[in-house]
Structure 1
Amino acid sequence: MMTEPKRLTGLLQSVVEPDRVVALRDNTGVTMQDFQHRVADWQLAAEQQPAAVFGVYIKDTFEFAAALFGLWYAGKTALLMGDRLPATIEQIKGRVGALAGDFDEPLTLPVIRQPEPATRGKVRSFPALDPAHPAVIVLTSGSTGTPKLVPMALAQLDDEVAMHEAQWGLVAGQSAVIGTVSHQHIYGLLWRVLWPLAGGRPFVSELCQYAEDALAHASRLPSSVLVTTPSHLSRWPCQTGEKAEGNWRLVVSSTAPLALEHSVFGRDYFGVPVTEIFGSSETGGIAWRQQTEDEVWTTLKGIAVDCDPESGALLLQSPLLGHQNWLKTGDRAEVFDRNRFRLLGRLDRIAKIEGKRVSLTRMESRLTAHPRVTEARVVVLEGRRTETAVVAALDESGQRWLETEGKRAVSRALRQWLADDFETPVLPRRWRLVDALPRNAQGKVPQHNLMVLFDKSGGTTPEAGVLNDNRLPVLLGQEWLAANQVQLHLRVQPELAFFQGHFDELPVLPGVAQIHWAEHYARALFNEKLASRDTFSRMETVKFQELIRPGREVFMELTLQPERSRFVFRLHDGDTAFSSGRMVFDALQEPI
């Protein structure tokens, strides 16, 4: 029987079911009483630090939830970190006074790693939390790649959780919540942590990075809710006609639009319609739809929409905004009434190329109308001249077309496809033909991930991810950490040659491929700095610690040590180390 949903502010104020299971860790139930004790541990630890804002990164969802409430009861604010990479820590240094969670390396900021459990006795009483308390700060890049801080009061989180509970609480019941998305981002925070806590349903503490993990959990549970994204659903491995293990009550998808074919797949596979949530970090949740039932979006309770008569922009009135004024969003929409609308894409992005105005949105729409293009993004490159450039994802027939005809012929054909609708000066001059657009962990396509595909950096940036080389990963991003240190964000696409006909039962990326990639990118990026780079000598201290499966996103860190005639490589995902080693060359390098 389902318990009455609670407000987050009073969740721990008067607990009537201390033995109720709130989380599943290693298939073992963790009770509300355990949660209260752990919140108290984190509160005590946080109160010892003068910092008002803590950067938080904790892999385990139960521990993360306890830390979050502990920080709130200590009067602190949590800045949610998407990872614990050195570049991310450097980025937030001026915005936080301390860190909390899984941080191993020596850092300049104070760190609460894992508070020691206090002596367990009677559960202490907790007062109600202040709804106005600044609860979290979300660090979001949006579509521009420029970091943006989005602060949220506890009342905003509480109100949105209440909206979701009112809409889906009865459907979900006390089903356990399983997630393929991190709780370190707002979507995962709301749906994997706060919504289950408020609704009295347990959550699986482990992040399910593979479909097999989610299915394994579901097979052991009476019923389940899946919190996922379009990028996971579009790559979910299964045979034609296969049905998912487990009893699925609700499947939720957010962060990006879900293609109709993947919505149909989800319904047929899980046995329930996929529920899409539309919203953003800045606006909170806005609306929902089940595309296999109706393509029109319906607003969450208490939210109203309208359409700007001049621009066609979707106008939003929501209690989650903290005011009653209408907010103009960046989306075009056809509004049927105050609660139902159809999205028509982003508002036109207008660029001026050689004195001609061009709609990048319209150009993208025309490209995706091509029978062999699944998705496309158009960007503007500034150099000796301003020009448009395209990143286009091809379907299977498009991939075969590319392999047969080559990049130049395909690019020329796609340019001709645009020629009837656009003047010659604005037609794209540069093309990147990929198997999938470079999405981040939330399934979005940041502008930075697109621009880096065209960043030559003096002619040394590798063009990874193009389909005419299926031995290299998709390059999602590149960042120089120091003069001789670079970090690449890579996606290990399932179509790589290394997975063809090898390890059919459990496909993994061979170690030799990882070494090949390290050498390839080191040669391309360090270029002339890597003197005598053709005289390879030996490998040193090579370690393969964890398996890399198809579809995984990883970071490759390369550090040149010219005085020792070698470079060091490390593959990781910000939390798990996959491999590392050194490649040594015969001749000493000249110090740079």
Structure 2
Amino acid sequence: MAELLRLDSLLSLGRPPGWPVAWRDGQWLSFADFSGRAAAWQQAFAASPGRDWALYLHDSFDFAAALFGAWHAGKRVYLPADVLPATVARLAGQVDGFAGDLPHTQQPLRPLAPSRPTRWSSLDRQAQALVVYTSGSSGEPVAIPKRLGQLFDEVETLAACWEGELDGAPVLATVSHQHIYGLLFRLLWPLAAGRPFDAGRLAFPEDIVAALAARGPAVLVASPAHLKRLPRTLPWQTARPGLRALFSSGGPLSDEALADCRELLGQAPVEVYGSSETGGVAWRRRDQPAAALWRALPRVELSCEDGALRVHSPYQGGGDGFLTADRVRLGADGFELLGRADRIVKIEEKRVSLGALERLLLDSGLVEEARVVALPGPRLTLGVVAVPSAAGWRCYDESGKRGLNGRLRAALAGAVEPSALPRRWRYGWALPLDSQGKTKESDLIARFDPRRPSARLQARSEESALLDIDVAATSPFFDGHFPATPILPGVTQLEWAVLFGRELFELPADFLRLEAVKFQQVIPPGTLLQLELGWQAARTTLSFRFSSAAGQHASGRIVFGGPA
């Protein structure tokens, strides 16, 4: 096991040049590679005016080098969760520039070939050098500034708690480094401990099995969203021996997912409770029935205020602590989470608990997951985004969407006044998730955009997907196209291919060109379409084909790219 290095002196003290820092596509990347890449980024940032820079990179090794390069150039780094147009537009008013894998329209900064040797000094631990964002699960993301000392102290706490169990094991991850949990667990802690990490992210359960089988003893950094989708059909017996430790954060792991972890992965995860505002707060490992309570991390003090948890932690801004929106039962041995305190809305002057409605929907047996959201408008109404169970899909197939809506409204009827029942329903194959595995309220509300078609995923792999799409006659895309004989515009078909392509695959930011696009047959209102998607990562090309009972309607390829 390597000596734990202070991250403020990571580059000034360093490790031997050949020390493995990461691996990419089977190739090891050394500390000399890391130091050289960080120098290239440091000189690029140093040559660029302005203090505040938004940084987004898919590759974790390149991201780590860019992050330390920016810090050593005296820059403050903003970490966006994605580079969607709305995110980039919001950031444009907050930062002086963009760096990394962003659309070329933002003229993102790229590393320079170092023109001189870099003399590294220690970083200023008091510098407010990082801005992270809340997940936006209950509203717009909020910027949270962090001092370097807060981050580095938290890494030392994590190492004190668990480094002895890891014994130098390398790190695999399903979560993104663009969030505080991924940043700490898959990058900063391994860098300090001298444990190498995978430069890529494991997007599918098949990737987890293959990586654990190939890598040997390894640490897996995951989220509940990934751990609750472990197919039993995969050869987990080949993966179990390769799992040294398992971490999960982003929300409590369900009992069903916990059972799958124990059976398929061979162990219960270390669940970490925290937030962007507070950093890590508490942990638990439910390897026995008595281990259900959350226990505070070292140096974290907890209290209860009007039923909600207040956190006093050196990893936050100080003051009177941070009052969370989590209701708890606090005891001498830890605390129990009782749900959110801020998910109460008023509908027709009636107080409605969104969490209670979600529990009733799950109890119906017709859905596997459900989120209730308050939809903006002249009159506040509730909407439900749900993933039907097998029984739910049978009801949908036999009685249509209206039939399933009715069954679920009946399940809620005894708990809420009729005027406050949800009025709008959306069904899909999964709740929308960001790269951290969290569901944001803004993404849920976007499911009610009339421009988004109703779609059902029939099959999916790393390289292909098959969807059924209901082309509703009420789609706004038929307006004016054409009044006498409405047909679906070709540009809309391209938009839908990209929309679902981005939800199912990790597509680069920039659209480059169309290839071999053909529109063979018009699509009238009410058509039930099949959309076949194929993703060739090596060529950054998304192929698409729309067909129905009437035959093939359109096909072609969409080529994407990113910064050179």
| Structure 2 partner of 1:88 | 87
Q: CA deviation at 1:240?
A: 7.5
| Structure 2 partner of 1:526 | 477
Does the C-alpha gap of structure 1 residues 425 and 521 become closer, same or farther in structure 2, counting only changes over 3 Å? closer
| Structure 1 partner of 2:550 | none
| Structure 2 partner of 1:178 | 172
SS at match of 1:509: strand
| 1:140 and 1:148 in contact (8 A); partners too | yes
| 1:173 and 1:201 in contact (8 A); partners too | no
Q: CA deviation at 1:277?
A: 1.4
1: CA distance, partners of 2:253 / 2:491: 47
Matched, 1:298 2:262: no
Normalising by structure 2, report the TM-score: 0.82
SS at match of 2:178: coil
Q: Residue 579 of structure 1 is aligned with which of 538, 542, 552?
A: 542
What is the number of residues matched between the two proteins?
526
1: CA distance, partners of 2:352 / 2:88: 39
| 2:153 and 2:315 in contact (8 A); partners too | yes
Normalising by structure 1, report the TM-score: 0.78
Q: CA deviation at 1:286?
A: 1.1
| 1:314 and 1:331 in contact (8 A); partners too | yes
| Structure 2 partner of 1:64 | 63
Q: Deviations over 1:237-285 (max 9, x none)?
A: 3427842425211111122332111122122222222121111111111
Output the amino acid matched with 1:357.
R
| 1:84 and 1:575 in contact (8 A); partners too | no
Does the C-alpha gap of structure 1 residues 523 and 3 become closer, same or farther in structure 2, counting only changes over 3 Å? same
Q: Deviations over 1:533-588 (max 9, x none)?
A: 6498999999x99x9799647799999xxxxx999x999999994427899x9xxx
SS at match of 1:12: helix
CA RMSD of aligned residues (A): 4.0
Matched, 1:248 2:204: no
Q: CA deviation at 1:393?
A: 3.1
Identity rate, percent: 36
| Structure 2 partner of 1:509 | 465
Does the C-alpha gap of structure 1 residues 575 and 144 become closer, same or farther in structure 2, counting only changes over 3 Å? farther
Does the C-alpha gap of structure 1 residues 572 and 85 become closer, same or farther in structure 2, counting only changes over 3 Å? farther
1: CA distance, partners of 2:193 / 2:95: 31
Does the C-alpha gap of structure 1 residues 436 and 210 become closer, same or farther in structure 2, counting only changes over 3 Å? closer
Output the amino acid matched with 1:429.
R
1: CA distance, partners of 2:142 / 2:536: 23
2: CA distance, partners of 1:403 / 1:153: 54
SS at match of 2:260: helix
| Structure 2 partner of 1:327 | 322
Matched, 1:270 2:270: no
Does the C-alpha gap of structure 1 residues 528 and 573 become closer, same or farther in structure 2, counting only changes over 3 Å? farther
Does the C-alpha gap of structure 1 residues 522 and 252 become closer, same or farther in structure 2, counting only changes over 3 Å? farther
| Structure 2 partner of 1:347 | 341
2: CA distance, partners of 1:573 / 1:149: 35
Does the C-alpha gap of structure 1 residues 23 and 521 become closer, same or farther in structure 2, counting only changes over 3 Å? farther
Q: CA deviation at 1:414?
A: 2.5
Q: Residue 371 of structure 2 is aligned with which of 374, 377, 402?
A: 377
Q: Residue 445 of structure 1 is aligned with which of 433, 439, 454?
A: 439
Equivalent residues in 2 for 1:45-56, closer than 5 Å: 45-56=44-55
| 1:556 and 1:571 in contact (8 A); partners too | no
Q: Residue 198 of structure 1 is aligned with which of 192, 196, 214?
A: 192
2: CA distance, partners of 1:530 / 1:336: 64
| Structure 1 partner of 2:126 | 132
1: CA distance, partners of 2:335 / 2:434: 27
2: CA distance, partners of 1:374 / 1:538: 34
| 1:299 and 1:340 in contact (8 A); partners too | yes
Matched, 1:15 2:14: yes
2: CA distance, partners of 1:581 / 1:413: 35
Matched, 1:307 2:270: no
Equivalent residues in 2 for 1:89-488, closer than 5 Å: 89-103=88-102, 105-107=104-106, 109=107, 111-116=108-113, 124-239=118-233, 242-245=236-239, 246-293=241-288, 294-308=291-305, 310=306, 312-323=307-318, 325-337=320-332, 340-383=334-377, 385-456=379-450, 461-465=451-455, 470=456
2: CA distance, partners of 1:579 / 1:395: 30
Moved more, 224-233 or 431-440: 431-440
| 1:522 and 1:558 in contact (8 A); partners too | no
2: CA distance, partners of 1:138 / 1:66: 18
SS at match of 2:13: coil
Q: Deviations over 1:210-246 (max 9, x none)?
A: 3333333333334101111222222233427842425
Output the amino acid matched with 2:454.
A
| 1:548 and 1:578 in contact (8 A); partners too | no
| 2:293 and 2:334 in contact (8 A); partners too | yes
Does the C-alpha gap of structure 1 residues 538 and 554 become closer, same or farther in structure 2, counting only changes over 3 Å? closer
Output the amino acid matched with 1:274.
P
SS at match of 1:301: coil
Output the amino acid matched with 2:301.
A
SS at match of 1:404: helix
Output the amino acid matched with 1:579.
L
Moved more, 9-18 or 340-349: 9-18
Moved more, 341-350 or 149-158: 341-350
Structure 1 residue runs of 5 or longer lacking an equivalent are 471-492, 560-564, 586-592
SS at match of 1:344: strand
SS at match of 2:426: strand
2: CA distance, partners of 1:148 / 1:418: 33
Q: CA deviation at 1:155?
A: 0.9
1: CA distance, partners of 2:502 / 2:80: 25
Does the C-alpha gap of structure 1 residues 400 and 249 become closer, same or farther in structure 2, counting only changes over 3 Å? same
1: CA distance, partners of 2:378 / 2:204: 45
Does the C-alpha gap of structure 1 residues 537 and 169 become closer, same or farther in structure 2, counting only changes over 3 Å? closer
